[in-house]
Copies of this chain bind each other. A is one copy, B any other.
Amino acid sequence: MPTLWHCQGVSLTHAPAGAVRQGSLRELNLALVLGRIAAAERPPSRADLATATGLTRATVSAVVEDLLAGQLVSESDPAPRSGAGRPARGLVLADQGPAGLGLEVNVDYLAVCVVDLAGEVRHRTVHRADLRPVAPADALAQLVEMAGAARDDAADQGLTLVGAALAVPGLVDDAGLVRLAPNLGWQDVPVPALLAEHPPLIEQVPGVPALVVDNEANLAALGELHSQPPGPSSFLHISGEVGIGAGIVLDGALFRGVRGWSGEIGHLPVHPEGRPCRCGGQGCLEQYAGQEAIVAAAGLVRAELPADTATARLAELAEAGDADALRALHDAGTALGVAVAGVVNLLDLDTVVLGGGYAALAPWLCPPVLAEIGARVLTAAWSPVTVRPSTLGAEAAAVGAAGSVVRRIVAQPAGWLARAG
């Protein structure tokens, strides 16, 4: 069985063309039943699935046998039942079998995680280091090493990695080329080709791309969208790291823009004639509310801080009432609020999620953000806006990346089953 680091993505949104063959009918039924199990609030019985899908009991039973044999679902404790008779056993997504690998390269950390079908994070490693002086090939080599350890840990837990998604803080084209990641200093980095030089970690199955490269703010927003319990279907998710990116979720889908470059909130000009930015512009939000700007404003010297402690140290100082840290966070929150107020005036979103490094700083960022919204958003008086930290914390992008792989497996389970058989 070939294992690859990269392949062309395949469309999951179209049914097979032409007449429905026996094989493809089975594929559709597998996806239909597995999708119902994934979406159910309580573990459904076979009878529940027959009702929900309109398939016959016999068909559901046959499909469930296939899913059980292929380690895609398992049987849970009996589902509670109000009527008479023996309680039926419920079906849940398996905690063994196929899993997704989530990867992230950011300015000051590398992150790797493994997420199982049920959405549980089964492995997580974060390595904090300043990646700016590191060549892209070397940064990716470090990430591959971490991913190898993750693969081994996953195997020990009965999990097989069948796809990977990599989050980068920049603009990525359809072929996985990183056109520009200004804070990393990456330009036109052919990530799939660089990863292909390493031994493969992924067991490829039909229907699941071995590697997808995407913007980290997009993947973090998708992670938030699919986190439990479900939140609103439209929101702005802001990833606050050294750079600041946003994922715009509208009606349950990521809005990518006309050419896929949406979400660059970090380069909204908040002081048009202000500080120069790495992007070539001036007065961009990042220069006032990016992690380095906050650290500097708090009087901390970034070079003297271990890479993993900048955000934690800020939170610690603010907690202790340090005036410089509190002022720095207030000013950053005000700049962030100016940009967010602009976005809300423009898009009329009612929920703003502070993710990435912002999640841990939310107690100090939320009040000035809300103050700017109150002062600047035309509809604020009668249409309140909620601002809250991400539930996924700082590694949301890696978790969102792995989750995006898992959703592809659930949407097209026949590929995995063909391999298992």
Contact = CB atoms under 8 A, between A and B. Distances in A.
Given A257-B348, A259-B348, A259-B350, A269 B171 contact: no
B257 A347 contact: yes
Interface in A268-315: 268-272, 279-282, 284
A257 to B, nearest CB: 2
A345 interface: yes
Contacts of A338: 269, 272
Interface stretch (A52-60, A117-125, A223-231, A374-382): A374-382
Given A272-B271, A342-B268, A257 B378 contact: no
Nearest to A381: B180
A369 to B, nearest CB: 13
A179 interface: yes
B265 A345 contact: yes
A379 B261 contact: yes
Q: Which of A258, A271, A339 has the most CB of B within 10 A?
A: A258
A180 B378 contact: yes
Contact of A346 (B171, B182, B262, B282): B262
Contact of A378 (B182, B250, B347): B182
Contact of A383 (B234, B250, B261, B375): B261
A347 B262 contact: yes
A180 B262 CA distance: 30
Interface string A225-247: 00000000010000000000010
A277 to B, nearest CB: 9
A250 B254 CA distance: 13
Contacts of A383: 259, 261
B341 A248 contact: no
A256 interface: yes
A378 B258 contact: no
Contacts of A342: 267-269, 339, 342
Q: Per DSSP, are chain A's interface residues mostly helix, strand or loop, or mixed?
A: loop
A175 to B, nearest CB: 14
A349 interface: yes
A136 interface: no
A255 B378 CA distance: 18
A271 B346 CA distance: 17
Contacts of A382: 179
Nearest to A345: B264
Q: Which of A248, A256, A378 has the most CB of B within 10 A?
A: A378
Given A263-B346, A346-B262, A379-B259, A270 B272 contact: yes
Contacts of A250: 255
Given A258-B234, A270-B269, A271-B272, A379 B348 contact: no
A343 interface: yes
Given A342-B342, A346-B246, A346-B262, A378 B269 contact: no
A272 to B, nearest CB: 5
Q: Which of A260, A268, A270 has the most CB of B within 10 A?
A: A268
B349 A257 contact: yes
Interface in A368-415: 375-379, 382-383
Given A267-B378, A378-B267, A258 B345 contact: no
A13 B328 CA distance: 51
Given A279-B376, A280-B375, 12 more contacts: A179-B382, A257-B347, A261-B348, A264-B345, A267-B342, A267-B345, A268-B345, A269-B376, A270-B272, A271-B271, A284-B376, A346-B346
Interface of A: 171, 179-180, 182, 234, 246, 248, 250, 255-265, 267-272, 279-282, 284, 335, 338-339, 341-343, 345-350, 375-379, 382-383
